[in-house]
Amino acid sequence: MGRFRHFINIIILVILSTVALRLLFDVILALPMAASAEARPIDHLFNGHFWMISFLFSLIMVMMIYSIFVFRRADGDETDGPHIHGNSKLEITWTVIPLMVVLGFGVWGAFTLNEITRPKDGEMTVNVTGRQWSWSFKYPEQGDAAAAELVLPVNRTIVLKMNAEDVIHSFWVPEFRVKQDLVPGRETTLRITPTEIGNYRLRCAEICGQNHTTMEADVKVVSAEDFQAWIEQKSAGPSFADMTPEERGAYWASTEGFACVACHTTDGTPSAGPTWQGLYMHNVKLADGSTTEANDEYLHNSIIDPNLQIVDGFLPNVMPGNFGDRFAEREQEVGAAEGIDLDISADLIAYIKSLQ
Amino acid sequence: MRTLKILLTSALVKGLVGQAVGWALGYSFVALLRALRGLPTPWLYEPAVAFGAIISLLGFLVAAGVLADWLRWIVGKKTELKHGAPAGQPGWARYINVDTNHKVIGVQYAITSILLLLVGGYFAIVFRIELAQPGMQWLTNDEFNTLFSAHGIVMIAGILLGVGAMVNYLVPLMIGAPDMAFPRLNAFSYWVTIPSAVIILMGMAVGGWDTGWVGYATLSLKAPLGVVLFLLGFWMNGFSSIASSLNMLVTVTTMRAKGMTLFRMPIVVWGSIAASIIQLTATQTVGVALTLTVAERVLGLNFFDPVGGGDPILYQHLFWFYSHPVVYVFVLPGLGVIAELLPVFARKPLFGYRWVALSSLGIALVGFLVWAHHMFTSGMDDALRVPFMFSTMLVAVPTGVKFFSWVATMWEGKLPKNPPTPLLFVFGAISIFLIGGVTGPILGTIPTDLHLHDSYWIVGHFHATMFGGYIFPFFAALYYWYPKVTGRMYKESLGKLHFWLMLPAFWVMSIGQMSVGLLGMRRRVADYDPALGITTTHILITLAALVIGWSVLIMIYNFIASARTEPAADTNPWGSRSPEWQIPSPIPEFNYVTPIEVVGEPYDYGLAGSVYTRTIAPAPSGD
């Protein structure tokens, strides 16, 4: 009879505690808003887990605290507890039931995974490139329009084909719930179907070196019409022939160009690389102890062959050495489209010159 | 003056000097080879630094005299085991010299472990203060990255040493053995950890590194110089794991007292066996991963960089094949401590002894089959991800057996009205390991992991597992066996203060970390967007971390002060049946002056007249 009363108490306490904890979850352990079709089945699974967490935590804690306070030694009692060795039926029960439950969650997880990863109708591909420490995006189905922000039409499944140029990065927009690494040497894929128009933020979730923290990009989910308008504006592209060398230089330095600004600030604060403000024609102390003047030749060499002269206080091998090739490729593209002869390195130097 | 001389002539100081000399020799050797080819060697030239680090390990071991006995054997000389301080020196001097007594080595492990935990904890506090507010306050990105990377590996080294402390001190005592099977190897296992730790910390001095403790390729190939020393130090620490686990398994297999069958061993021994099996069989794969990375950086071989045909994912497989099971190395001895202490204080047998014992082996076995769950977002095919999801979920089953058995042990047990500090830490451990446990399956199912992976949820889950499975049980063990080790009782009031500061602070920290993680806080970032609405929680986490830090200092003060001032403790203050409590404190040099035999079950509390061990009466002489 006594034992029976304890079990009734435990059942009531566990139920109360489970419900209370699950309600508390919504206050202190809440998910951000859901902004993708994938988030819906994932959030159902989250909800299932949250109930299970509340129940298991309550079960063990209630039994433990109950034992600590209800069964504890009475004053003056010097005897030992009851000599109970174990109970094989009980052990089998609490092996088999948890086994069934976790396998059940596994099946639920597998079905959900299939739902969010299977190909859908009307998909659109976007190429994502991650590098230390910036993102860029290309729209192969829209004439290879390129952008430094990820603009997506609402309610259409997007297949992100992702590549890393240097180290592993990871694509994460918390409101979309899903995450995928970008791995050098192989293309990875992620499907997202944005459902809510709005502005979000993409942040790299895998440690990728010095400026990992600031490897971010804007994500904009817009209506189909707005997306079309944006693509048309992007495809038009800037007319390089009409721009001054300084304006072109600023464009090449931006994340839409070659993302120089990911490591070189224009406001005087050093980052992974030296700042560009006040750099032109000033003396630069190098790591080998010598000093040089930041003239056109020095700047050109530093862009094309960055390990040649390392500035004091900065590390070698951080800046990629392939800008010469990438510039030549772009110069050819623009040359073919606009019929002008560009020198991207000279544009950048002109831009740096203007940052006094 | 005399103290200074003892310190300066100790194996510890000699070893450190030998390490510096070895480093200089190794560096010069590479510089010399280059000079012969007419090449200059710039300051901190990476291959020279790396080769110097390898030679520095030998320098330490030779100068400290760790290899002395083996070297003498080569020339055919016999040597005695080292017991006690060098001639003419006080008793404490044996703790800073090479000694082969398992209890001395256990204490050496414990002190070194606590020092490393303090250093690693200090790193955490420094970067936690940075994280209290959005924006960068007092660290640069580089400093922040180095600090969290070093925090990870220093804490892991500290935990491994703490496991070494518990296993070394307790296992021979609990099985009725006079020492470990290979006492010299045991000393080697301890001493090799010191030069390894020095090399890792030197990595911070030569530019740090920004890869975290996982050191993923290809970032590790581009990281600053410090990463090489981190990789080498981590690699050398593996010698300790492999040698000590082998030693421990041989000891348990061959040196148990008469009548000590496998299912009559104290439960801590089972946890130690499971942990040792993992260490003995998995450490090599991380050794391979680290070796390949160093070879790729220093020798220019190509394993991981896709530009030369390598694959960065290969590193992750090799790394996690060790680094997942190793978390069970951290927790299994701790879970054994929980199961050991509960029956003593509840005055009831351990519920389902065999199930608890075998669940440790179950966790160790399943632990080998789940490594790829760390790589659910790496781009693995679903045909591989899904089986790893199911194997991961299975870990919950033997872990659940442990929780249910602990609760069933407490059920109807006569727990004291005013729980002493070790029991409080056991309660704390259960509650925190429970937080760590129940927040695990949500990471095991892939769809939810896709959100939580590399977020602060993982940070919260992992710290709860480590604090619940290792830190709290380790502290419980320190308080519980303190009177046996020192012969004196710690100050109960300070112990309770430590507990009541640390437990609530840890709850706040852990739940806070999970909360910000759900909202989008990434791991290993120096700064965060205040728009995430997580600033207040971050302040709370930082304050909680500070409270935890201070509470640990209280414990250390308690242990140092009590060893001097407290009166002698009873031989068996907790009323335990375990054999080590039946002999005087501190324990005699070779443990059991008269051998013991096992005649009953270890946890038969509440059974009148039952006996676990008794001394074997000396054989009557004369016939």
Q: Any CB–CB contact under 8 A between B145 and chain A?
A: yes
Task: Return residues 105-124 of A near B (CB < 8 Å).
Answer: 105-106, 108-110, 112-114, 116-117
pLDDT of residue B618: 66
What sign does the dihedral A297-A303-A305-A310 (CA atoms) show?
Answer: positive
pLDDT at B93: 92
What is the rounded average pLDDT of the residues A161-174? 96
Asked if the Cβ–Cβ distance from A212 to B446 is below 8 Å, we say no
Q: Which residues of chain B have pLDDT under 50?
A: 623
Partner residue opposite A209 with nearest CB, options B219, B410, B441? B219
B495 to each of A227, B197, B559, how far by Cα in Å? 64, 29, 9
Contacts of A41 in chain B (CB under 8 A): 447
Cα distance between residue B343 and residue B601, in whole Å? 13
Token couple for A345: 């390195």
Please tell me whether residue B603 adopts helix, strand or coil conformation. Answer: coil
Query: What ipTM does the predicted assembly reach?
Result: 0.92
Residue in A52, A72, A167 nearest the CB of B222:
A167
Count CB atoms within 10 A of the CB of residue A104: 13
pLDDT at residue A68 tops 90: yes
> Which residues in chain B are contacts of A68 at CB distance < 8 A?
410, 415, 419, 427
Give the pLDDT of residue B620.
63
Of B390, B403, B511, nearest to A60 by CB-CB distance is B403
**Residue A21 near residue A54, CB atoms below 8 Å:** yes
Q: Reply yes or no on whether the pLDDT at A251 is more than 80.
A: yes
Instruction: Identify the closest residue of chain B to A43 by CA–CA distance.
Output: B448
Q: For residue A4, what pLDDT is reported?
A: 87
**A62, A65, A101 from A10: Cα distances, Å:** 7, 10, 21
Could you give all domains of chain B from N- to C-terminal order, each with its CATH number? 1-79 (no CATH), 99-611 (1.20.210.10)
Beta partners for A182?
A169
pLDDT band at residue A243 under the 50/70/90 scheme: confident
For the stretch A240-250, what's the b/e string if a residue is b when 16 or more beta carbons lie within 10 angstroms of its beta carbon?
beeeebbbbbb
Note the pLDDT of residue B619.
62
Strands (E), B132-207: none
- The backbone region for B454, taken as left when phi is positive above 0, alpha when psi lies in -120 to 50, beta otherwise, is left
The residue of chain A with its CA nearest to that of B602 is A85
Q: What does the DSSP assignment read for A28-76?
A: HSPPPPP-BTTHHHHHHHHHHHHHHHHHHHHHHHHHHHHHHHHSSPPTT
pLDDT for the residue B91: 87
User: Is A319 in CB contact (< 8 Å) with chain B?
Assistant: no
Residue B37: helix, strand or coil by DSSP? coil
Window 47-106 of A: residues touching B by CB (8 A cutoff) are: 49, 52-53, 56-57, 60-61, 63-64, 67-68, 71-73, 75, 77, 79-88, 90-91, 94-95, 98-99, 102-103, 105-106
Residues 6+ apart with CB under 8 A from A244: A350
Half-sphere exposure of A323 (CA within 13 A, CB side): 24
Q: Are B432 and B472 in contact (CB under 8 A)?
A: yes
**Which is it for strands A134-139 and A169-172: parallel, antiparallel or unpaired?**
unpaired
Q: What is the pLDDT of residue B569?
A: 87
The answer to whether the CB of B315 falls within 8 A of the CB of B304 is yes
Give the whole-angstrom CA distance, residue B278 versus residue B364.
7
**DSSP per-residue string spanning B331-379:** HHHHHHHHHHHHHHHHTSPPTTHHHHHHHHHHHHHHHTT-GGGGGTTTT
Residue type at B288 in one-letter notation: V
* B415-432 CB burial, b ≥16 within 10 A, e <16: beeebbbbbbbbbbbbbb
Side-chain half-sphere of A100: how many Cα atoms within 13 Å? 5
Judge if the upstream peptide bond of residue B586 is cis by omega within 30 degrees of 0. Answer: yes
Which residues have a Cβ under 8 Å from the Cβ of B447 and sit 6 or more positions away?
A41, A42, A45, A109, A112, A113, A116, A177
User: Min CA distance, A148 vs chain B (Å)?
Assistant: 20
- Residue whose C-alpha is closest to residue A322's, from A348, A334, A337, A304: A304
pLDDT given at position B325: 94
Give me the pLDDT at residue B367, please.
92
Please state, rounded to an integer, the average pLDDT across all residues of chain A: 91
Q: Is the dihedral of CA B180, B184, B188, B190 positive or negative?
A: positive
